[in-house]
Amino acid sequence: MPTISWFYGISIRMFVHDHPPPHFHAYYESSAAVILIETGQITVGRLPPRVARFVERWRREYIEQLRETWDRAASGETGSLGRIPGLDGQS
């Protein structure tokens, strides 16, 4: 599962050919969650509240890039999905 962003110790990943609805996976230490791109709803798992706030802020800031990355991943693009900047300016 390619990592598409990394910030504050949070890894954001997306599967190629993953099931709808459009979503991404967030990992922080021993916590993990599946988060819907359009709403920010956590559908599986949990994150510490502070981490969840960072991820939500990031999702809102980069929602267009997330949508584009989802479209490439859902279509089975086998090359790199690219990187989306993190809140700390890293990716």
pTM of the model as a whole: 0.92
Q: Can you give the pLDDT at residue 81?
A: 85
Q: 85 near 6, Cβ under 8 Å?
A: no
Q: Can you give the pLDDT at residue 16?
A: 85
Sheet holding 42-46: strands in order across? 3-7, 10-13, 23-28, 31-36, 42-46
Displacement of CA 67 from its chain's centroid (Å): 10
Q: Can you give the pLDDT at residue 69?
A: 94
- Name residues of the chain where pLDDT drops below 50: none
- Report the Cα–Cα distance between both ends of the chain, in Å, rounded: 16
Q: Can you give the pLDDT at residue 88?
A: 83
